[in-house]
Amino acid sequence: MNRSMILGTGSAVPKKILTNQDLESMVDTSDEWISSRTGIKQRHIAEDGDTTSLLAAEATRRALEMAGVKPEEVDVIVVSTTSPDMIMPNTGALVQKHLGAYNAFGFDVYAACAGFVYALTIADKFVKDKPESKVVAIGAELLSYITDWQDRNTCVLFGDAAGAVVLSGTNDGTRGILSTHLHSDGRLWKLLHIPGGGMVYPASAEMVEKRDYCIRMQGNEVYKYAVRLMTDVAREALTANELGPDDVDLFIPHQANIRIMKKVAERLEIPLDRVYVNIERYGNTSSATVPVALDEANRAGRLKPGDVVLLDAFGGGFSWGAIMLRW
């Protein structure tokens, strides 16, 4: 049976680090509050010259190097981002340019923090369609540009990062992406959104003054939905593959809040030593959290051939999804 398999992973973050202590001098907050409520200790933040597409390209170069695939061999580049360099062109085209991957075509997927799971699902379909193709799926975000640094409810949560995977077909029969599961519910859009900058509320001096180009969120409500929907879709993925919690070697949830991750793992009955957590170092980097975690786990030797890996993410839209794969 033809499946798509991850040949390489890569990730990249901007150099600058913003700690909880740094935030104490920016808004009325404390390291104690942020650590205990979210699990975050620090995050990486873009500086002048950093762009989403450059960070995405850096992560992809590392993934290509691991995969032994040259940029000119890439067929498709799927980028998930909510913080593109520009509204037009799409980030995929810019990543293509940075890499010199001129035989590929690139485009963006737009599903907030669940975006990488969407991008990987689409990449998987391209590979199934043409197993010899080399397809790149990326999650890349510079959320620091759409974070309201005067709003303590949100500014302590987010960070910047990019992660990428390279996929191609395998006839192995056991390894590769086993199933993908996507959902959305547009009725809940208002709980987590960016009001300004689109065509409903276009750029204006007033919009900028109110910082309405930034993320707005009803944290408590988002928290409850995140726990419920991430648990539901993970169960759906387990059931579809006739697997139980004991079969999962590594669970990689979206890194939004350590309490959300622990609650979901508890409901799924997956012990914490099989849950990948790095939120303390990066914060919530939206669609980059899952591929960055996957790359770290891979490079740390935590993934052995045959391991069952469950990816699970949730974000604005609402959008959520899970992917089950055998490493």
DSSP state of 133: -
Distance of alpha carbon 14 from alpha carbon 247, whole angstroms: 36
Torsion of CA 119, 327, 256, 58, to 10 degrees: -60
Distance of alpha carbon 232 from alpha carbon 238, whole angstroms: 10
**183: annotated active-site residue:** no
The alpha carbons of the chain give a radius of gyration, in whole angstroms, of: 19
When the beta carbons of 55 and 215 are compared against ligand COA, the nearer one is 215
Residue type, 102: Y
Write the DSSP string, 178-237: EEEEEEE-GGGGGGEE--SSSSSS---HHHHHTTTTS-EE-HHHHHHHHHHHHHHHHHHH
**CA nearest to 10, candidates 51, 92, 69, 75:** 69
Binder among 20, 38, 133, 184 for ligand COA (CB under 6 A): 38
The active-site residue, picked from 90, 257, 284, 298, is 284
**254: annotated active-site residue:** yes
Q: Which residues of 3-12 are buried (b: 16+ CB within 10 A; e: fewer)?
A: bbbbbbbbbb
By beta carbon distance, the residue nearest ligand COA is: 219
- Tell me the number of residues near ligand COA by CB under 6 A: 20
When the beta carbons of 50 and 148 are compared against ligand COA, the nearer one is 148
When the beta carbons of 145 and 223 are compared against ligand COA, the nearer one is 223
Least CB distance to ligand COA at residue 219 (A):
3
Distance of alpha carbon 226 from alpha carbon 21, whole angstroms: 28
Angle between helices 52-67 and 91-99 (to 10 degrees): 50
Among the residue ranges 64-72, 149-157, 193-201, 206-214, the one whose residues contact ligand COA (CB under 6 A)? 149-157
Among the residue ranges 29-37, 54-62, 96-104, 139-147, the one whose residues contact ligand COA (CB under 6 A)? 29-37
Among the residue ranges 100-108, 218-226, 241-249, 295-303, the one whose residues contact ligand COA (CB under 6 A)? 218-226
The active-site residue, picked from 113, 155, 181, 214, is 113
**Rounded to the nearest 5°, which phi and psi values hold at 257?**
-165, 130
Residue type, 123: A
The active-site residue, picked from 20, 90, 155, 254, is 254
Residues in region 54-93 near ligand COA by CB under 6 A = none
Binder among 7, 24, 33, 232 for ligand COA (CB under 6 A): 33
**284: annotated active-site residue:** yes
Least CB distance to ligand COA at residue 68 (A):
34
* Residue 315 found at the interface with ligand COA (CB under 6 A): yes
Binder among 89, 131, 219, 245 for ligand COA (CB under 6 A): 219
* Residues found near ligand COA in the complex (CB under 6 A): 29, 33-34, 37-38, 113, 152-153, 156, 217, 219-220, 222-223, 226, 256-257, 284, 314-315
Catalytically active residues, by annotation:
113, 254, 284
